Amino acid sequence: MGKPFTRRLLAIAAFALLALVGNAAAQTYPSRVITMVVPFPAGGGTTLLARVVAEEMKAELGQTVIVENVPGAGGTIGVTKAARAAPDGYTLLFGNWASNVGSGAVYPVDYDLLKDFAPIARIADAPLWLVTRKDFPAKDLKEAMAWLKANPDKATAATVGVGSASHLCGIYLQNETGIRVQFIPYHGGAPAMQDLIGGHVDMMCDFSANSLPFYRAGQIKAFGVMAKHRWFGAPEVPTFEEMGVPGIYVSFWHGLWAPKDTPANIIAKLNAAVVKTLADPAVQKRFAGQGQEIPPRNQQTPEALAAYQKVEIDKWWPIIKAAGIKARD
């Protein structure tokens, strides 16, 4: 036999050995600490959710799951770290709409949100809603929309920076209803809400769970939920659809991913741990306390997350690009 044939045999043997080693590693997974990357600063709602999930997954997987905050550039720094990690199930990405939909169109990134990650499960969901200063001249959404249409570019809308969910939601609302507002960017949700409460801005598309305490305290008005059904956190607030403004759906959702090429049996094991976590009544209570809804069981699969994320990207990227939104230095 010639040397080329011998080299082919050695290559085949080496490939088979690697496959066996990889399969054995997958079978014993997990055998060490798992890191769950959260691409946002510590202390926010996404981190709080991640810690709940990590804590419960630890019991199911038999290994510690730590949450590591890697903030910056709209979540893209943390997402990049997760994308470049080894596909062995020991580095996961706990992301949300901003990091795994919006950022891909707003920031120059060197990863593909759909191709470079293996979906594990969709975890939580909460709608955005339209809130205004407490003395805004309208008693309900119909009156608010009428006033905004009659006064184009007079109302100011707070956003949590260019390309944020609040900004994109506002642009979407303009596109769908014909209103025109002036966007005022803030460095964070807290100062934006402070100015809304103080009456320095007129309105805001906000993550419902964030502003619920201020609505409850009577410091702001809530006119409409951007969902197909009323939000359990404030069931008295109607949906846009109920108030004669159909098709306005904006959700701030969370999911869990691994780097692409992570073995299928590891993805299955992680998904099973997430599903069991979300079925725990104590977890459900903690999520509800943060205004989060848990997706139905059939929407917790890797396939469901992949499909949902693609639909969201297909919806939002054209809106972002048509508005010419790009990250600022």
Common-topology check for domains 29-125+252-322 and 127-225: yes
What is the average pLDDT across 276-293?
A: 94
pLDDT band at residue 8 under the 50/70/90 scheme: low
Q: Write the DSSP string, 101-164.
A: IIHHHHS--SS-TTTSEEEEEEEEEEEEEEEEETT-S-SSHHHHHHHHHHSTTTSEEEESSTTS
Q: Is the pLDDT of residue 16 over 80?
A: no
Residue range 113-137: mean pLDDT, rounded: 97
Q: Which fold has domain 29-125+252-322?
A: D-Maltodextrin-Binding Protein; domain 2 (3.40.190)
> And the tokens for 226?
């951007």
Q: What is the pLDDT of residue 197?
A: 97
Which pTM does this prediction carry?
0.85
How high is the pLDDT of residue 162? 80
Supply the pLDDT for residue 21: 46
pLDDT(4) > 90: no
Measure Cα distances from 71 to 65, 78, 136, 319 in Å.
19, 6, 35, 25
Is the per-residue pLDDT at 19 higher than 70? no
Q: 233 or 9: whose pLDDT is higher?
A: 233
Q: What is the pLDDT of residue 206?
A: 93
Kindly report, residue by residue over 132-168, the tens digit of the pLDDT.
999 999 999 999 999 999 999 999 999 987 888 899 9
Q: Per-domain residue ranges for the chain? A: 29-125+252-322, 127-225
Mean pLDDT of the 271-282 span: 98
Q: Is the pLDDT of residue 2 over 90?
A: no
Q: What is the mean pLDDT of the chain?
A: 91
Asked if CATH classification 3.30.465.10 holds for the domain at 127-225, the reply, yes or no, is no
Average pLDDT over residues 5-12: 56
pLDDT value, residue 44? 82
Long-range (24+ apart) CB contacts under 8 A made by 114-118 are 114/306, 114/309, 114/310, 114/313, 115/260, 116/83, 116/259, 116/260, 117/82, 117/83, 117/93, 117/257, 117/258, 117/259, 117/260, 118/87, 118/257, 118/258, 118/259, 118/260, 118/261, 118/262, 118/267, 118/302
Q: What is the pLDDT of residues 158-192, one digit of tens each?
A: 998 788 889 999 999 999 999 999 999 998 888 99
> Which helix or strand (DSSP H or E) is residue 69 part of?
strand 65-69
